[in-house]
Amino acid sequence: MKILVTGGLGYIGSHTVVELLNDNYEVIVIDNLSNSKESVKDNIEKITNKEFELVIGDVCNKDIVEDIFKNNKIDAVIHFAGYKAVGESVAKPLMYYHNNLFSTINLLEVMEKYECRRIVFSSSATVYGKPESLPIKEDFKLSTTNPYGTTKLMIEDILRDLYVSNNDWSIAILRYFNPVGAHKSGLIGEDPNGIPNNLMPYIVKVANKELECLSIFGDDYDTKDGTGVRDYIHVVDLSLGHIKAIEYVLKNKGVDEYNLGTGKGYSVLEMVKTFEKVNNVNVNKKIVERRPGDIDACYADSRKAKEILGFEAKKGIEEMCLDSYNYVKKNL
């Protein structure tokens, strides 16, 4: 079976390519290196002792995408490629709408032309906006508060409409909660360009003395200790969820959405304290104002992915904290 992975050198994409190769899938990656490095390919091949084809190019370039389908029989696609920084999307909405939507429509048009109608799409829990209750179920109301999240919701709607137009499609929409951690080898992990927006990469850089102090955005939320609560899922677990989704779309038809989370929520303070304990380090921290747009708490009802895909996250926050720091100590 040959799988095309768009954005396959990125953080989640690279971990998923490792698991695809481990499961003896043939893999082609298309990546424009806008948020990844070509050296990630070597590290994936070192981890798996297997090779795969890399096409350095942009999914917005339809000719490049078409060449892949002309020269290969692609059985299914995992679509990661897209911009994903919430703050940046607020500042540059057109860049986000153009890149994320245009690339996806290009991809789907070529897939349709070559009658490849199996796709796993990288969506996000951000499509739920501020949930009315917890844990969050897949049939909850959808609403977004930033252009990045809106592109994810728009693409979900495009996929649902596509299935209505042609029931031969098989589409798994995966809504990630908060991916953290890195592969045990320390060869691949999260390399955010510049100052990280997300909690774990920031903690890691403070622990590694690259950044001065962690700002904890608010301790007056309606949560156990007042700091924000999120559903952190190890990136390797998340990648294994994509393997389950690929297996499913190769055998079934239809379109459906699945939460990929652990079903457990942890506060910022719990994450920081766990990180300090398991890594035996101190993380300079201070409480500051809330970050605009943040919500109090967000964690998944993860039962549907387990019941239908047979996916269940196994790794706990201790392992996420250990593996995140291990990667940085070995690489950055």
Active site residues: 148
Residue closer to ligand WQD (CB basis): 9 or 116 = 9
Nearest approach in angstroms of CB 180 to ligand WQD is 8
Residue closer to ligand WQD (CB basis): 126 or 170 = 126
The backbone torsions φ and ψ at residue 118, rounded to the nearest 5 degrees and listed phi first, read -125, 120
Residue closer to ligand WQD (CB basis): 43 or 150 = 150
Nearest approach in angstroms of CB 16 to ligand WQD is 15
CA distance 11 to 200: 13
Nearest approach in angstroms of CB 302 to ligand WQD is 16
Residue with the CB atom nearest ligand WQD in the bound state: 228
Residue closer to ligand WQD (CB basis): 202 or 325 = 202
Nearest approach in angstroms of CB 317 to ligand WQD is 13
Q: Can you give the binding site for ligand WQD, defined by CB under 6 A? A: 84, 86, 124, 126, 176, 178, 197-199, 202, 214-217, 228, 230, 268, 291, 294
